[in-house]
Structures are given as C-alpha cells and as structure tokens.
Amino acid sequence: MALITLYDRYAPTLLALLQNILGASTESDELLQELFLEVWCKASTYQPQRGTVRAWLILRARERGLQMLEERDDLEPHEPPVAFLPPDWDPAIHPAEVAGEDPLFGQERAAVQRAVGALPRDQQRILAWYYFANTGPEAATKAFPLRPEHMFAHLTVAHQQLREIMHQTRR
C-alpha cells in the first residue's frame, strides 16, 4: 500500500519534528498517526506543482504540531528544545546517518546540518524558534525583544545563506 511506503520512509523524520515541537509524548505519536490518515484521505488534493510529497508531509506536520502547541492551556507548557542542533553539535561526534536508513538521506542530513551549523548563533536561535515554537506574534514578542523588521531581516539573511547549500544537496 502506497501510504505505508510513505510512512516507512518519512515517519521517523516527522516524529522527530513533532517531538521537537510537542515533546516526546503520546501527543506526538497520536498526531503522527492522524497526519498519515489525513494524507490518505486527502491524497487526491496533492498537487505536484506545489511541491514534493516530502515537503507536503513535513510542512503539514509542522503546521499541525504548532496548532496543537498553541491550543495547549497548560500552566507550565512544554518548553520545546527550540534548536536544530544540540549545543555541543560537532559533525565529527554526531554522525548524520542512522542505522537502517537510506544512506543518501543521511548525506543530505549531514549537508543541511553543516549549513545550519554555519549560521551565526542568533540566526540559528531565531530560525529555530519560528520553526518549532511559533505560536503567534505575542509569543514572538515575549521570546525576542527585537523589532519585527529586525526579526524579518535575520530570517531573510539566514534563508539566503542556507539556500545555496540546500539546493545543491536536495534529492
């Protein structure tokens, strides 16, 4: 079944993303399953001219994860890791390839990690916050005491720096 092929290929990436947004919880597991059911039911709406299946899945997972984060009314909300790379990240001690995974996937991951790792710390922090924790303008104001135009500039420069490396490595 086509959906299970997609699941086997992308579920580990999507679960890593959801756990970064929501924490390693049953919520992340349940959302992963819901996401694939949604994909199955809405497969007819996928339009290749709007992007690859991989991008469709990852962008939808991020959107659903952030929605769920925003809907939480915990007094002490989960603090997501809000980082693409661990603070002690070093390509020599953090191999990108994972046992059993398509090796080309690991090569792409290593290249993207290097690209993100080359960004200045401030840009990494802002990019990661918007990626994993963006629950709206109020939360952004609390997280960063920067004027919106400065945030925008940080994101734009980060994207320009990442883009070249990412396009070269994309599968």
Partner 1 sequence: MTGHPEDALFAYQLGALNAEEANRVQNHLQTCVRCGSLLAQVGEDIAQLALTLPPVQPQPVIRESLLYSLSEINRFTELLAPLTEQLGKSAAETQTVLDRLDEPGAWSEGDLAGVHLHPVNDIPGATFVRLTPGTAMPLDETTRTTVLILQGTCRGTAGTMHNAGEVLQVQGDKPFDYIAMAGPDLIYLSRDQESSPS
Interface positions, 54-113, toward partner 1 (CB under 8 A): 54-55, 57-59, 61-62, 66, 84-85, 94, 98, 101, 105, 108-109, 112-113
* CB atoms closer than 10 angstroms to residue 35: 22
According to CB under 8 A, which residues from 139 to 168 bind partner 1? 140, 148, 151-152, 155-156, 159, 162-163, 166-167
Is position 118 an interface residue for partner 1 (rule: CB under 8 A)? Answer: no
For residues 68 and 51, give the distance between their C-alpha atoms in angstroms, rounded to a whole number.
24
Q: Which one of residues 22, 68, 80, 130 is an interface residue with partner 1 (CB under 8 A)?
A: 130
Provide, rounded to whole angstroms, the least separation between the CB of residue 87 and partner 1: 14
Quick check: 64 and 31 in contact, CB under 8 A?
yes
Is position 52 an interface residue for partner 1 (rule: CB under 8 A)? Answer: yes
According to CB under 8 A, which residues from 8 to 37 bind partner 1? 8, 11-17, 19-20, 24, 29, 32-33, 36-37
Is position 50 an interface residue for partner 1 (rule: CB under 8 A)? Answer: yes
Instruction: Write the CA distances from 71 to 44, 57, 68, 90, 161, integer angstroms.
Output: 28, 21, 5, 35, 33
Is position 48 an interface residue for partner 1 (rule: CB under 8 A)? Answer: yes
122: three-class secondary structure by DSSP: helix
Helix axes 121-133, 2-22, angle to 10 degrees: 120
Provide, rounded to whole angstroms, the least separation between the CB of residue 22 and partner 1: 12
120: three-class secondary structure by DSSP: coil
Q: Which is nearer to partner 1, 11 or 125 (CB)?
A: 11
What is the phi/psi pair of residue 113, to 5°?
-60, -40
Q: Which is nearer to partner 1, 76 or 147 (CB)?
A: 147
